[in-house]
Structure 1
Amino acid sequence: MPRLRPLAAVTGSLAGAAALALALTGCVPNKADATAEAIAVTLSDGKCTVSTNTAEAGPITFQVTNTGSDVNEFELLAEDKLRIVGEKENIGPGTTVNYVVQLAEGDYFSACRKGMVGDPAHVAAFTVTKGSGRTVSQSESAQVSQAVGNYTGYVKDQAGALLTATKSFAAAYSGGDLAAARAQYASARSYYERIEPTAEQFGDLDPALDLREADLAQGQQWTGWHRIEKDLWAPAGYTPADAATRTQLADQLVSDTQKLYDLVHAKDFTLTIDQISNGAIGLMEEVAGSKITGEEEAFSHTDLQDFQANLEGAQVAYGVVRDIAAKKGSQGADVVSKLDTEFTTIATTLAQYKSGDGFVSYTELSTDQVKQLSDQVNALSEPLSRLTSIIVK
C-alpha cells in the first residue's frame, strides 16, 4: 500500500447492472406507502424471516418487527450480495417499523444483522418481478442522496464485518494458533481492502493498520496486518515475535479496527458522491500500484485476494453512481458502456486463478499472466478516471 495515495467477489457479469441501477440509487423516503401491501419481516436473535420471497417492481413496503433482545437491521442486497440497495438500521427490541424501498426488476437478497456487526445473516433470495407502472421517477439530487446513503451503509457493514473477522484472526494469532491465523488472514483483510479509501480519510489510521515494511520511515513503529503477516510467513533468517509481542500486536490491530468502526458509525460520518467515485478510482490505483506487482503481500503472496477485494469495492462504488453517470449525455453513456465491459473482462480473468475459497499464490503467475492482468487494469482505469468529472458536472 503506497503512501500518499489519492482518496474510495464481484466476478459475475454486469449484464444486470442496468436493471439494478434504479435499485442502487432509487430508494424512496422511509415512510409507509398507503398503496402498497406491506411484506411482513420478523427479526429475532436467531433468525430473520420474510413472509414472501417475491414482489412487483416499484415501491415495496416492508413491515419489520424485531422480536429479539438486541438491536437489529434489515437489509436488501443486490445480486452480488455486496451492494446494499436498501437497509433499515437501529430496529430496537420490541419495535415495528415500516420501511419503503423502490426496486427495479431483478434478483436480490434479504438479510439481517443482529447487533449491527459482522456479516449479514440469514441471507435469502428475493425476486422482484416486472411491475405494473408503479415506478416513481426521481430527480438527480434524490438519486445522489440515495446513492450516498446506500454506499455509506455498505461502508458501515464492511467495517462491522471487518471488526468481527479481525477479532477472530487476532485471537488465533495471539493464542499461538498460527495455522488458523494464516487461514483467516486473506479473507479477513478483504473487508478492509474493499473500503480502504474511506479508512485513508482518517489520518494515521490507514498506516497503523496497513503499512508495508517497504514503506516504513526510519524510526517509525510498525503495526498492523503486514507486521503480523511477516510473523505468520517468516522469511529465512527472521525471528517471529514472542507470545507477549504477539498479544501486543493483536490487541493493537483490534483497537485500530475498532476505531475505524466507530468513526464510520459516528452520527456525523458522511460521504459525498465524488468521494465514492474517486474511491473506485483509488481502489484500482491500489491494484496497479502494489497488487499487480506482488508487492502488497510480500510474505504471504495473497495479492490476488487483495486484488479481488479492491475490484469488488471499486465495482460497488461504481454501481451506486452508474445510473447517474449514464444520464450525463453521450460522454456519460460512453464511459458507462466501457466500464461495464472492462469490469466484466477483468473479473472473468481474475476468476481463472481461484483456488478453493481463495486464490493461487501470486508467485504461481507467469510473466504473461501478470501482463494480461496489468493490461486489463490499465484498460479499466482509463474510463474510470473520467467518472468523477462526469457525475459532478
Structure 2
Amino acid sequence: MKVHPSAAALTAFLAALTLAGCQAKEPASTDSGETSGATAAPAEITVEASDTSCVLSGTEGTTGANTFVVTNNGNKVTEFYVYSEGERVMGEVENISPGLQRKLIVQLTQPGTYTTACKPGMIGDGIRGEFTVTGDEVQIDTEGKFKEAADSYKRYVNSQVEALVPAVEAFVAAVKAGDIEAAKAQYPTSRVYYERIEPVAESFPNDLDPRIDLREADLEPGQQWTGFHRLEKDLWVDGLQPDTNAIADQLVADVKELQAGVSAPDFTIDSTQIAGGAQGLLDEIATSKISGEEDIFSHTDLWDFNANLQGSQTAVASVRPILDERNPDLGQRVDQRFEEVEALLEKYREGDGFVSYDKVTEPERQELSRAIDALSKEVSQVQGVIAPQ
C-alpha cells in the first residue's frame, strides 16, 4: 500500500461538500427503556443516553440544521442515529464511550416523521422514538463550493467502491480455491477500500454494513455471521468450513449491493454527514483498532487503522474550502494533527504493508491513542464550522 498523500495534496485534489443540519422539541417515545422531554424547541437537542434509556430534550423540529448533543451516562459504549423512512440513516454518531459527549448535526430537508435511536452496546435496533419535522422543504446549496465538494467526494466514494469490488472478488477466489496463503495476503488489502468509506456504507438500510463487516463479538443471539471477519476467522483460526464458500459469495454480493447504491442517480452526500463520517472513522480507530479488537484473528489492524485515517483525511479535505473560509486556523491544526498521526504510523511500516498488530507494545498503542485523541479533538469541530449559518 502506498503512503497516503498529505492533507495539502488532498485539499488540492478535492473541493468541499454540501452542508446541512436539524432541530427539535419534546420527548421521544421508545420501544424499550425510558423517555422524557420538553415541549419547547431548543437550539440544540440534548440526548441523555444510558444502558436502558434514551432521553431527548425535544422530539419536534423544523427543516434545516438541527443539532443533537449526545451524552453517554451508561456503562456501555453507545451510538445515536437519526433515520428517515425505510431505515435510511440521515445522521449518526458512533463509539460514544461512557462519560463522553458528542455532537451530531443532521440535514433533514423534508418535513415528516423521522426516527431517533440510542444503541447501548452498539447492537440491535436500539431505544427508539419518533422525531417530527415541520416546515418547508429545504433546498441544499448546489452552487459554488458546496456543489464542488459534494461532487468531489462522491467521485472519491465511487472510486473506492469501484476498486473494492474486484479486490473482494480476487480475495474470494483465493478462498474458494483453498489457497489459504493467498487469501490471507489479500484479506487486508481488499478491506482498505471499504474502511476508507465505511460511514457511507452505514447510511444504507437492510444492515448492509453489518453484513459486510460485523465482528464476532457484536453478534446478537441467532444472528447469522457473514462478511470479512467471518472469513478472517476461517482463514486464521477454524480452517475452511462447509459454508465458507457461501459466506464468500455473499460478501461479493454485498459489496456489489454497495456499488449499486453509490452509483444510483439518487445517491447524495451532504457535508455534515461527511464531516461526521470523518469523525466517525477516527472514533473507530480509538474504539476498536487501538485495542486490537477489529482484526482479532489476523492482527492486520494497522491496515484498517491506516485506511480509516485516509478516509477521514479525505473527508476533511473535501470541505477545506469552506473550512478555510470560516476558520482557517482550525484547518491548519487539523493538518498538523494528521501529519503527526501519519508519522507515528510510518514507524510500523513493513514492505507495502504493516507489522502484525500483536507486535505493537502497549506503550506504543498508548502513544498512537494519544495522537488519535488529539486529532479527533480538532476534527470534531469541523462539522459545526461548515454547517449552515
Report TM bin, short chain.
0.5 to 0.7
Superposed CA offset, 1:324-355 (max 9, x none): 10111xxx122111101000110111011011
Q: Which runs of 4+ in 1 moved over 3 A?
A: 9-18
Cα distance change on mapping 1:305 and 1:160 into 2, 3 Å: same
Amino acid at match of 2:227: G
The 5 Å alignment of 1:199-238 reads 199-203=201-205, 204-234=207-237
Amino acid at match of 1:350: L
Cα distance change on mapping 1:17 and 1:202 into 2, 3 Å: closer
Q: Partners in 2 of 1:232 and 1:248 — Cα distance?
A: 14
1:307 equivalent in structure 2:
305
The 5 Å alignment of 1:17-32 reads 20=12, 24-25=14-15
Question: Gaps (5+ residues) in structure 1?
Answer: 1-8, 28-138
2:102 equivalent in structure 1:
none
2:130 equivalent in structure 1:
none
2:369 equivalent in structure 1:
374
Q: Partners in 1 of 2:5 and 2:257 — Cα distance?
A: 33
The 5 Å alignment of 1:110-121 reads none
Aligned partner of 1:389 among 369, 384, 388 = 384
Q: Secondary structure at the match of 1:220?
A: coil
Measured after TM superposition, the shift of residue 250 of structure 1 is 0.9
Q: Partners in 2 of 1:197 and 1:228 — Cα distance?
A: 22
Q: Partners in 2 of 1:177 and 1:25 — Cα distance?
A: 43
Cα distance change on mapping 1:198 and 1:14 into 2, 3 Å: closer
Contact 1:345-1:376 at 8 Å conserved across structures: yes
The 5 Å alignment of 1:2-151 reads 11-14=4-7, 16=9, 20=12, 24-25=14-15, 141-151=143-153
Question: Gaps (5+ residues) in structure 2?
Answer: 18-140
1:281 maps onto 2:309 in alignment = no
Amino acid at match of 1:386: Q
Cα distance change on mapping 1:149 and 1:17 into 2, 3 Å: closer
Q: Partners in 2 of 1:12 and 1:162 — Cα distance?
A: 20
Contact 1:208-1:224 at 8 Å conserved across structures: yes
Contact 1:277-1:388 at 8 Å conserved across structures: yes
1:152 equivalent in structure 2:
154
Q: State the TM-score, normalized to the length of structure 2.
A: 0.65
Amino acid at match of 1:268: D
Measured after TM superposition, the shift of residue 247 of structure 1 is 1.3
Contact 1:199-1:205 at 8 Å conserved across structures: yes
2:317 equivalent in structure 1:
319
Q: State the TM-score, normalized to the length of structure 1.
A: 0.64
* Structure label with greater radius of gyration: 1
1:170 maps onto 2:172 in alignment = yes
Between the aligned residues of both structures, percent identity stands at 45
Q: Partners in 2 of 1:174 and 1:16 — Cα distance?
A: 40
Amino acid at match of 1:233: W
Cα distance change on mapping 1:12 and 1:161 into 2, 3 Å: closer
Measured after TM superposition, the shift of residue 13 of structure 1 is 4.0
Amino acid at match of 1:229: E
Amino acid at match of 1:166: V
Amino acid at match of 1:205: L
Superposed CA offset, 1:57-89 (max 9, x none): xxxxxxxxxxxxxxxxxxxxxxxxxxxxxxxxx
Q: CA RMSD in A?
A: 1.8
Amino acid at match of 2:208: L
Contact 1:225-1:253 at 8 Å conserved across structures: yes
Q: Partners in 2 of 1:338 and 1:26 — Cα distance?
A: 18
1:333 equivalent in structure 2:
328
Superposed CA offset, 1:163-203 (max 9, x none): 01000000110111111100100010000000000000112
Measured after TM superposition, the shift of residue 299 of structure 1 is 0.2
The 5 Å alignment of 1:356-371 reads 356-371=351-366
Contact 2:184-2:235 at 8 Å conserved across structures: yes
Q: Partners in 1 of 2:359 and 2:142 — Cα distance?
A: 47
Cα distance change on mapping 1:320 and 1:336 into 2, 3 Å: same
Amino acid at match of 1:282: G
Contact 2:16-2:320 at 8 Å conserved across structures: no
Q: Partners in 2 of 1:325 and 1:10 — Cα distance?
A: 25
Amino acid at match of 1:383: E
Q: Partners in 2 of 1:381 and 1:140 — Cα distance?
A: 29
Measured after TM superposition, the shift of residue 315 of structure 1 is 0.6
Aligned length: 263
